[in-house]
Structure 1
């Protein structure tokens, strides 16, 4: 791939453009808002000038509802040798594109499983896709050359290709992406009118659950409108669990010992099923889940503190697998939780104590 055109310079489109431009591909940028394309160009994602002729690959990075029209327009103009989109829903847009009567051999649907709570070109980074799954949904009509172009894009963005059927993809993302967004928003909505005293008690648990609730509602309306059935199916299952759990909790309030016992069993059941589901979530780099030991370190809210911790861990030859930060309410201090391989926990703890860090058990 030598040339590419990115149509839509939001978070995903600009991130892909940055990755391609950084690896020597000549990238052209187009957006319905020229100012966004100029912003992406100023960030080094390519040129907002139109290409002089057909490019190797056109990447359509617009909301799902606009994908078919944008693709059909580009195809009819002979913009590229191959065309793909990066929308988070695949089945519906593909069927709409087929109905428009375009040549489907030059098209492949794709979806990089990566994103942020923030949107727009200023949120983009060239490493957004590194190590992340990038779904490809070829059909029997997809030309081999187009599939190879898509695989090259995934490789240049340092993502991991995953081939799926389009409708199977939509059911999968309903479970692992779209439903979690709605549930996160529902939990966060409980905080909107909560008493300030309760809100001040927020810890890492509520921050973890509500992190993605900060996402742009307009963007998610577009996504959910393109995949409502599979999301509703998953939510129906969650609703059934909620109903059972509510009944179990009410039973725990009973003065009848048998009812309390049944209530405890109902709550335990959903918690244990949650344990079983959580264990299936892939770990680092998509490998099997790994149980890490946590080394908790008290830090002050001063510049360079995190860098010092990581540097001290490096001197001890310990790799930090994951990190979480819990801020102390109303204080200029916090707790950093460093996740490491079990065998490294004692080594890291000793090294940090030797360098003057205060650890919490």
Structure 2
């Protein structure tokens, strides 16, 4: 492909999920990608998947992407800056202040370094989980600092756009505080909730629904990697968890004495305030707004989901979101279709007329 912004060679250091995914996407666009890794076997695997080529004498990358574990980011970035004095170097770690401080303290040339962070990933890592479309439509934060000019960092924006992501500028402090709220604290909360399941009976786990699966999905993440991430952003994460701890204490107190004055109000307000918070999350295409959800029963037979989606399209209704849930020990499932409120009634009537069973409509 020639419809790309990047003209120079790109060196990717680290052949895990992010590094290999970057290599796959750039290679498909015709960019010369050089892959390197401390593990020769990991590098060979990523190359076998088509994510780039091995380093060669005379390589002169214009842009270097460091995609290594958080605890070695600063050391590897410093080595790359020294080895390639004409290259711009970025990293894709999920914490930005700590590496910058380490580089400055080490006397590295930060006029050619700018941290970045793609808000994309999967629960499983490694080259085997990599995807060329991993970053499409996802935010990619550029964490600027006073030591580098916008013009010098232009190649990073070209990389982000070539990968199909959306560049967002933040300073390092705003970045670390933001990811503590929307990524790091949720990871801990999901893990702590999932830990409660280890003491659950088989009967209890057998009736677990989609809500529990949704809230614990990210609990399957790599413990070692997340230990490094959480350690590097400890202060910002603690600032999110302290008020959460206070809220939990209030709810526990209400549950412990449910007939005490105000106890039931505490529980209702906890749920209501959650409604307000989730309502602030951007929806499709980044727009705010609430949708109406129609839950449709689907028989567990081939072609049923395809038929449903086709018939929704035939009714001229745009589906904003879709979630599937299976019914334990029953050969049926449920499709939760989110649509704009003004289309919900008409679609429910039309699908009912076509023979579908509508379970509920929820705002």
Give aligned pairs, total.
354
TM-fit CA distance, 1:80: 5.3
What are the residue-to-residue correspondences of 1:27-38 with 2, within 5 Å?
A: 27-38=33-44
* Structure 1 residues 345 and 79, CA gap change in structure 2 (3 angstroms): farther
Report what 2:329 is aligned to.
Answer: 330
Mapped pair 1:9 → 2:15: yes
Task: Identify unmatched segments of 5+ residues in structure 2.
Answer: 1-5
The aligned residue for residue 358 of structure 1 is: 357
Counterparts of 1:273 and 1:228 in 2: how far apart (Å)?
Answer: 26
Q: 1:306-321 maps to which residues of 2 (within 5 A)?
A: 306-321=305-320
Question: Which residue in the other structure is 1:267 paired with?
Answer: 267
Q: Deviations over 1:287-345 (max 9, x none)?
A: 22x21122222223344432332233233333221111111111232111111122333
Query: Over residues 67-122 of structure 1, what are the superposed CA-to-partner deviations in whole Å (9 max), with x where a residue is unaligned?
Result: 11111111111175210001000000111111221111111010111111111112
Distance 2:56 2:184 in 1: 35
1:233 pairs with 2:239: yes
Paired with 1:193 and 1:69, the residues of 2 have a C-alpha distance of 41
Give secondary structure in 1 for the equivalent of 2:123: coil
Q: Is contact 2:26-2:162 (8 Å) kept?
A: yes
**8 A contact 2:136–2:165 mirrored in 1:** yes
Aligned mate of 1:74, from 69, 80, 92? 80
- Tell whether the 8 Å contact from 2:300 to 2:331 is kept in structure 1 after alignment: yes
TM-score normalised by structure 1 residue count:
0.92
Q: Sort the Cα spacing of 1:327 and 1:32 in 2 relative to 1 into closer, same or farther, 3 A.
A: same
SS for the counterpart of 2:196 is: helix
Q: Which residue number in structure 1 is paired with residue 29 of structure 2?
A: 23
Give the CA deviation at 1:353.
4.0
**What SS does the aligned partner of 1:55 have?**
coil
TM-score (norm 2): 0.92
Paired with 1:49 and 1:354, the residues of 2 have a C-alpha distance of: 62
> Secondary structure at 2:62's aligned position in 1?
strand
Q: Deviations for 1:155-187, whole angstroms, at most 9, x for unmatched residues?
A: 111211111110221111111110000101111
Alignment of 1:159-308 (within 5 A): 159-252=165-258, 254=259, 259=260, 261-288=261-288, 290-308=289-307
Distance 2:313 2:48 in 1: 36
What SS class does the counterpart of residue 114 from structure 2 fall into?
Answer: strand
1-structure distance, mates of 2:287, 2:44? 39
Deviates more, 1:81-90 or 1:211-220: 211-220
